[in-house]
């Protein structure tokens, strides 16, 4: 239930409401109830949001809030919030304020002491990461790469030694240029997952390399909005002798691991394969 203003001193609440990224079935009951309950809705594109509202039978005043009017519109929204009105902020798809001018409005609310509440839902970046098959424990969201040559080059250069999984958004007509730039930065054999049309009819995840993606899309035209999930730079493994690597196996054995588990863990720390370490450890035991 929304908080209402009981006095002039009580401000309204800004609700960040996630909208579907394709499938309308992903719009939550709580999100719909929030839009029905607020005083007005601030939308990236009022035409897009109106279609969503009509689908769910919601009637609310709409105002525009997007990249090119965020300063003027943001100040007006803040004034209405300070007077006690509640507002929902929505983007065309996904979570507002993520790679979105809504972050400025949240910052204004923080400055003015206006409470902000999140109504979570679909997010293309996290969905693509889950689908990618890439490491998910640590990742960095990079949004859209700059179209400015200098800024784009600096952005990519800053990622050259990034060890975390990287997530980038890209439009179909810019995909080949971006893949070429990624090859220049990371090399063609870097693992890459391309997720497109997430939650839609033609949803697809392609797990390949940067060179593999370039080859694929040189033969078929890219279609749909893409999320690129790029594997981070691999940790450099220390060079060591086989005897030193076997000592690492013994260390894991001393922690209660089976020989198979110890060989696998030791292989992740060294340049030796788990099979080589397992077989060498077995031979060493026979000789003992």
pLDDT tens digit string along 109-166? Answer: 999 999 999 999 999 999 999 999 999 999 999 999 988 889 999 999 999 999 999 9
Calpha distance 166→228 (Å, rounded): 8
- For 61, how many CA atoms within 13 A lie in the half-sphere containing its CB? 8
Q: What's residue 269's pLDDT?
A: 85
| Percent of the chain topping pLDDT 70 | 96
- For 142, how many CA atoms within 13 A lie in the half-sphere containing its CB? 25
User: DSSP states of 221-288 as a string?
Assistant: ---S-EEEEEPPPPPPPPP--HHHHHHHHHHHHHTT--HHHHHHHHHHHSSS-HHHHHHHHHHHHHH-
Q: What's residue 272's pLDDT?
A: 87
Kindly state the average pLDDT of the residues 83-108: 95
Give the residue carrying structure tokens 């588990």: 261
User: DSSP states of 178-194 as a string?
Assistant: HHHHHHHHH-TTSEEEE
Q: Please give the torsion angle defined by the CA atoms of residues 76, 80, 85 and 88, in that order, rounded to the nearest 10 degrees.
A: 10
Question: With b meaning 16 or more CB within 10 Å and e meaning fewer, what string describes 160-171?
Answer: eebebbbbbbbe
Q: What's residue 1's pLDDT?
A: 42
Sign for the CA dihedral angle at 165, 176, 156, 101 comes to negative
Could you tell me the fold of the domain covering 14-122? Answer: Cobalt-precorrin-4 Transmethylase; domain 1 (3.40.1010)
State the CB neighbour count (10 A cutoff) for residue 98. Answer: 17
Question: Could you tell me which CATH class the domain 125-230 is placed in?
Answer: alpha beta
pLDDT digits (tens, 9 = 90+) for 42-62: 999 999 999 999 999 999 999
Residue 6: pLDDT over 50:
no
- The structure tokens listed for 268 are 């992740």
Residue ranges per domain, the chain?
14-122, 125-230, 242-287
pLDDT digits (tens, 9 = 90+) for 182-226: 999 999 999 999 999 999 999 999 999 999 999 999 999 999 999
Contacts of 227 (CB under 8 A, 6+ apart): 124, 125, 127, 128, 167, 168, 169, 170, 194, 195, 196, 198
Give the residue carrying structure tokens 């007077």: 83
């Amino acid at each position: 239930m929304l908080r209402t203003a009981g006095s002039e001193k009580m401000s309204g609440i800004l609700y960040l409401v996630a909208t579907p990224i394709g499938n309308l079935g992903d719009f939550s009951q709580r999100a719909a109830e929030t839009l029905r309950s607020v005083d007005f809705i601030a939308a990236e594109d009022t035409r897009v949001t109106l279609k969503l509202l009509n689908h769910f039978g919601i009637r609310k005043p709409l105002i525009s809030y997007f990249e090119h009017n965020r300063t003027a519109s943001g100040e007006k929204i803040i004034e209405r919030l300070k007077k006690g009105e509640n507002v929902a902020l929505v983007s065309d798809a996904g979570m507002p304020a993520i790679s979105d001018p809504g972050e400025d409005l949240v910052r204004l609310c923080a400055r003015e002491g206006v409470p902000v509440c999140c109504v979570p839902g679909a997010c293309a970046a996290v969905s693509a990461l889950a689908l990618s098959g890439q490491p998910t424990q640590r990742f960095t969201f990079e949004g859209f790469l700059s179209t400015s040559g200098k800024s784009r080059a600096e952005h990519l250069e800053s990622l050259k030694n990034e060890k975390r999984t990287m997530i980038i958004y890209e439009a179909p007509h810019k995909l080949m240029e971006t893949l070429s730039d990624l090859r220049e930065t990371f090399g063609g054999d870097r693992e890459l997952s391309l997720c497109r049309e997430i939650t839609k009819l033609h949803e697809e995840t392609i797990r390949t390399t940067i060179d593999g993606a370039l080859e694929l899309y040189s033969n078929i035209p890219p279609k749909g909005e893409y999320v690129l999930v790029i594997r981070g730079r691999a940790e450099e493994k220390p060079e060591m002798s086989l005897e030193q690597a076997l000592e690492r196996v013994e260390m894991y054995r001393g922690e209660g691991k089976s020989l198979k588990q110890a060989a696998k863990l030791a292989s992740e720390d060294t340049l030796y394969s788990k099979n080589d370490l397992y077989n060498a450890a077995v031979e060493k035991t026979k000789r003992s």
